[in-house]
Amino acid sequence: MAAGAGRDMKFRQSEWKLTKTTLIGAAGQLGRDLQAVLSGPLMLLDLPEFDITDAAQVEAALEEQRPDVVINTAAQTNVDGCESAAREAFAVNALGALHVARAAVGIGAYLIYVSTDYVFGAAGMRASAYVESDQPGPVSVYGASKLAGEQLTSAYQPDSLVLRTSGLYGHAGARGKGGNFVETMLRLGGQGQALRVVDDQVVSPTSTVGCAAKIAALMELRPQGIVHVAAADSCSWHEFAREIFAQQQMAVDLTPIPTSEYPTPARRPAFSSLRSERLAELGVAPCRGWREMLHEYLDARS
């Protein structure tokens, strides 16, 4: 060993440390898969012990933990429920995001706020997927509350990352929805029910496993602004359902219908597919296609 090499190695080891991360919404479907891919000390926060709408509690928790990175996946995701409970939706998705941003600034932590494709939709059907620079325009209380959360996060923590994804589904399910689209289709199809699924709403269905992997990669780079993380291609909900049954080799009576034949309390975007211009700039590979993600999900489920 060259003279001084031992001292240099000791110095480098003393300077190096693992990233401490606080994961808010840890029990959700994305939170569960993030736990599997994040390295270093990981602190988990979620209901009922932790309430993101309580500003004092948020500040105290982050001040005690003092993480290097905060990932905020907490959200009220019941799209229809948000229409009749707008106050609650904004309390969680917007004011909760504000509380986290303020607390993150106070301890000098990098912040990732997970948002949604439902911040888009007002433009109607499009020929191309939305990119980060496109102007948002939500059509539901849920979408509006998440857009407000984006704006408050960016305003109070300018160095933060707003990460938008689309049509998330994971093995843990979405608590606010009682499962996810894949599991709902498999359950109903397995019961022999004839199913009618809308074919005029286009999304980029994304597995939480795939999304979590990209979040982990971006966390190392710590970009600022907005980044889209979603399946590399898009489909209608009917196409998605048809592929679920095809991959599971299930014979199901499945009929495509227009949205007008399936009214819901909340209006859904006719088109909210996402594409990223920034992932390539950051040197991060895009997500795989939705069929490949679905295959991985179903394979792990069996």
Q: Write down the catalytic residue from 110, 113, 142, 297.
A: 142
Active site includes 142? yes
The distance of Cα 239 from the centroid of its chain, to the nearest Å, equals 22
Nearest-5° Cα angle at 96, 41 to 68: 25
**Sign of the alpha-carbon torsion through 256, 77, 156, 286:** negative
Among 198, 171, 193, 194, CA closest to 182: 171
**Type of residue numbered 298:** L
Q: What is the DSSP letter of 84?
A: H
**Separation of alpha carbons 71 and 83, rounded Å:** 26
| Paired tokens of 74 | 């907490």
**Separation of alpha carbons 160 and 102, rounded Å:** 11
**Which runs of consecutive H residues, i.e. helices, occur in 22-75?**
29-37, 55-65
**Separation of alpha carbons 160 and 71, rounded Å:** 10
DSSP string across 192-237: T--EEEESS-EE--EEHHHHHHHHHHHHHH---EEEE---SS-EEH
Q: What is the DSSP letter of 130?
A: B
**Separation of alpha carbons 204 and 56, rounded Å:** 37
Give the residue numbers annotated as catalytic, written as ranges.
142
